Chain A
Amino acid sequence: MVSVRVEDVWMVFGKVNALRGVSLQVEEGELVTLLGPSGCGKTTLLRIISGLYRPTKGRVYFDSEDVTDKNPWERNVGLVFQDYALWPHMTVYDNIAYGLKIRNVPKDEMNERIHRIASVLRIEELLDRYPHQLSGGQQQRVALARAVVINPSVLLLDEPLSNLDAKIRINVRTEIRKLQKELKITSIYVTHDQEEALVISDKIAVMNQGIIEQIGSPLEIYNLPATLFVADFVGQINIVKGKTNKKLGENEVIFDTDVGPLKVHTGGEEYSGEVYLAFRPENVELYRQNNPPVNEENVLEGTIDTTQYLGNLLRLDVLVSEKKIRVELHNPAKRGIYSPGEKVYLYIPPTMIHVLTK
């Protein structure tokens, strides 16, 4: 196992800057997710780490060794492809054995290693089959076995679950994480699915337009997004523009916003000029007119615009001074019926508002 360090990597395709100065540190045994929309450069970065692309500028290190100029076949990485890339003319066994044969692993040891990984991934019965006889989830596990069996320095996974059904996706996702923790493989996982990233990662690197916007634990990424993009991409969020009105004390500032003045616990930071106030829908408290909130600050009056019933939660868009504020209520059965047009009060706790400047 190694640690992976990416230093100021740029990648230019013709006139397109796919990566614009990306740096990343992945510690030994850690699983880091590259999360971002399509075209953000996450797959490009993964391919640079695997050696399939050579960066236009910048270096890649495995531990202290500079591998930037090494060919993919000289790097000892495990790569799991989005389309699995199993070879159709070989059995499952031969697919998994391929990398071991290249490494001249003795036959007995090879056999033993293949059966061990096959039993961990529950594909032992499939070893004699051909890829086209397998289901998608089985193919994905074979691809994983093929990548892992060589004891790679780094395991790279390129959207490995995007071709699977929702239910199988959750199973395989759990399996990947379990295997990764058991074998303590340094892993880099590319996905555009924020839920997948939150569940599986030690750290998440959120990418956008060729740069990393924020690196942090899933908790930090969700609760303390560093930029508007991160806030908006990971989970749902309400954003209103604001301007400092007055400072109340060390930690509290009142901002003027489109929906009225909002008090925010800022943690002591100073803001000048225009800022963005972000708060998650599940942190907004909703009150009916006959039961107004006891707080006086941060209470907004609005009208329900639309309601979406999602079973375990109710999602409401509330119009406050012509701006839509999204609210999510858990356990909707206990709350009764809300209909469009109903007047309601919203309370946004000052501790739940996050100030962003970019």
Chain B
Amino acid sequence: MRISFTSITRVLIFLYVILFIFYPLAYLIIYVVSPQSIGEVFSFLKSDLFLSSLRNSIYVSILTTFFATLIGLPYAYILHRYKIFGKNFVLSATFMPTMVPPFVGALSIIFLLGRFGTINLLLLDWKLIDRPINFIYGMHGVIFVQTITLFPWIAINVYNSLLKLDRSLEEAAESLGANPLRRFLTVTLPGITPGLMTGLFMVFSFAFTDYATPIVLGQYELLAPQAFVNIQQAIDESRVRVGTYMVFFMLIIIVALFLVTKRYISLKEYASLRLPRPVEEIQLRGAKKIALNFLIYFALFIGLLPHLFVFIISLSRAWSFTPLPTKISLDNFATILHEPTPFINTALYATIGTLICFLIGTFGAYVVTRTKHPLNDIIDSALSMMFVVPGIVVGTSFLFAFKKDIPIMGLLGSTWLIMPLMLATRRITYTIRYSYATYVTIRRSQEEAAYVLGEKPLRTLLKIVMPNAIYGILAGTIFSFIEIVNELTASLFLYKPGWETVTIQMFVKITAGEFPISAAYAVILFLTSIILAIIAMSIANKGTKK
């Protein structure tokens, strides 16, 4: 076997996968199933704490998934089938909230629907109620916030599936005499199953493992916040272990769910969040036109409301029991810009993390798509798997696997470098999938033509492949960047004082009660993400047009 750049790249990337994907997960699993702890694990499994938290978590996740589907599925169907006013805008606007962590929604909702939030105050002012209504404190609040922040995932995935649906299949059903309902159930629905299942899996997985939203809403009787509090506060060794078992069983449940839904989920596709193009649409008239447009815009408004309201919160100086702030100023922004550490950290970690994503995306995806080797499959599966491993699992496993007392690894874990490495590992899937999709469109003969003219493989990649692939890879890299910037659930486990990122700082400020400060961070994060997403999409489009 000759030493070529592809074999060197393969070995390097394999080492990366071993070190940052397999090792931390293996560490976590061995920690839990080791002989010392296995007895404890069994008694933990029977404990009231675990059983009630599990029951609550499953209850919340199932209802969230159900309601998100109830909104997301018709939303996608109507948007795809009918001519809706400003469809391209609606599509982009649906996509935006999925980039921002859901707990930002919770922050807004407290101001909107809290005991003395805008809505309650308005209702009190109008004398419609005597005492504030408890809209959000409780499981129903968690379900509500998660439903409105997560339904776009269902909508986007179903919409993607609908785009691939062959119109003639439906026409064939109609020509054979199927009525619209029968056609939908027998032809359309099976066709969109992959997108729907992907959306269901993602929403359930997020709802099940997100601890930030429940904590912001003060709900601790769920698995994820329990695990977080036990591990992160690290009051004593036994509580850390209990937290770890919880994380472990969340991983087991998510993996089991993934295996069940796997045959419907296309790993090759779900990470390509490219905005699809509208297809043949039905013109609407009269009442139906108004009704359907209203439904779409109402759902979109609900989905965007938390993010819009964050703007108002961020500008507020004083609220003294009024529906809207009594004093508006930019002071909150001045305050956060005065402490630039979180911004510097986020920029630094995201830049390094994105660079890692870019390199692995460029060279790793090339090796995997262009060469045959048993290691390729392992690399490919491991990198794709990171899309389904919940943040809480990544955070916990990195926290343990790179802790101080482990030789070499501990050294790495004690420097901030572990942050960008973890972030890159967690968000690599975006770049990888975009790179795959791009390389696949470049025909092998382009490279072979260079080989026979005397060009060696590495230079062929740089001179022939890259000029054509760069748009797709860059688009994927920018999405990785956005997702790194918005990462919270794993970073929050791993960070040490001085390593705070913007999202970590947001969370810290919320738990300290400084909501407007946190909102100001959220605004900056949201605007940055939107601008980057627009850039990424235009780059991706430029690539496909060529």
Contact = CB atoms under 8 A, between A and B. Distances in A.
A87 B445 CA distance: 10
A73 B445 CA distance: 14
A75 B452 contact: yes
Interface string A296-322: 000000000000000000000000000
A73 B454 contact: yes
B4 to A, nearest CB: 9
B455 A87 contact: no
A72 to B, nearest CB: 4
A103 interface: yes
Interface stretch (A15-23, A78-86, A174-182): A78-86
Contact of A103 (B448, B454, B468): B454
B464 interface: yes
A224 interface: no
Given A73-B454, A102-B454, A146 B448 contact: no
B453 A85 contact: no
B207 to A, nearest CB: 44
Contact of B452 (A79, A86, A87, A89): A79
Nearest to A158: B445
A94 to B, nearest CB: 11
A336 B445 CA distance: 53
B451 A73 contact: yes
Contacts, number: 62
Interface in B451-482: 451-456, 464, 467-468
Contact of A72 (B443, B448, B468): B448
Contacts of A71: 451, 456
Main secondary structure of the interface of B (DSSP, over half): helix
A79 B454 CA distance: 11
Interface in A75-101: 75-79, 81-83, 85-89, 98-99
A156 B454 CA distance: 15
A98 B450 contact: yes
A6 B179 CA distance: 64
Contact of A81 (B445, B455, B464, B468): B445
A81 B546 contact: no
B378 interface: no
Contacts of A76: 454
B446 interface: yes
A98 B450 CA distance: 8
B454 A87 contact: no
B542 to A, nearest CB: 13
A81 B454 contact: no
Which of B449, B453, B467, B468 lies at the interface centre, i.e. has the most chain A CB atoms within 10 A of its CB? B453
Interface residues of A, number: 28
Interface string B417-461: 000000000000000000000000001011011111111100000
Given A73-B455, A83-B443, A88 B449 contact: no
A177 B468 CA distance: 33
Interface string A45-57: 0000011100000
Contact of B446 (A77, A87, A99, A146): A87
Contacts of B546: 88
A221 interface: no
B468 A79 contact: no
A207 interface: no
Contacts of A146: 449, 453
B318 to A, nearest CB: 58
Contacts of B451: 51-52, 71-73
B468 A89 contact: yes
A76 B445 CA distance: 17
Interface string A36-72: 0000000000000011100000000000000000011
A80 B137 CA distance: 70
A89 B450 CA distance: 14
A98 B464 CA distance: 11
A51 B443 contact: no
Contacts of A82: 445
A129 to B, nearest CB: 15
A76 B454 CA distance: 7
Contacts of B446: 85, 87
Given A85-B446, A87-B446, A50 B452 contact: yes
Contacts of B464: 87
A150 interface: yes
Given A81-B445, A83-B445, A85-B445, A102 B452 contact: no
Contact of B468 (A75, A85, A88): A88
Contacts of B468: 87-89
Interface in A101-142: 102-103
Contacts of A72: 448, 451-452
B455 A78 contact: no
A89 to B, nearest CB: 4
A88 B451 CA distance: 17
Which of A52, A72, A78 lies at the interface centre, i.e. has the most chain B CB atoms within 10 A of its CB? A72
Nearest to A83: B445
Interface string B520-546: 000000000000000000000000001
Nearest to B448: A52
A65 to B, nearest CB: 17
A281 to B, nearest CB: 39
Given A85-B443, A88-B468, A89-B468, A99 B448 contact: no
A313 to B, nearest CB: 39
Contacts of A147: 452
A46 to B, nearest CB: 11
Given A87-B464, A88-B546, A89-B468, A99 B454 contact: yes
A214 B397 CA distance: 65
Contact of A79 (B443, B449, B455, B456): B449
Contacts of B450: 87, 98
Contacts of A156: 452
A51 to B, nearest CB: 7
Which of B450, B452, B455, B546 lies at the interface centre, i.e. has the most chain A CB atoms within 10 A of its CB? B452
B3 to A, nearest CB: 13
Nearest to A78: B452
A10 B243 CA distance: 60
A83 B449 CA distance: 11
A14 B409 CA distance: 41
Contacts of A75: 452
Contacts of A73: 451-456
A335 to B, nearest CB: 47
A102 B453 CA distance: 8
Contacts of A83: 443, 445
A76 B455 CA distance: 11
Given A73-B454, A146-B453, A150-B453, A81 B448 contact: yes
A352 B87 CA distance: 73
Given A73-B456, A102-B453, A150-B454, 11 more contacts: A71-B456, A74-B454, A75-B452, A81-B448, A83-B445, A85-B445, A87-B446, A87-B450, A89-B467, A99-B454, A156-B452
28 contacts: A50-B448, A50-B452, A51-B452, A52-B452, A71-B451, A72-B451, A73-B454, A73-B455, A73-B456, A74-B454, A75-B452, A76-B454, A79-B449, A79-B452, A81-B448, A81-B449, A83-B443, A83-B445, A85-B443, A85-B445, A86-B449, A87-B446, A87-B449, A87-B450, A87-B464, A87-B468, A103-B454, A150-B454
Q: Which 5 A-B pairs have the closest CB atoms?
A: A99-B453, A85-B445, A72-B451, A85-B449, A102-B454
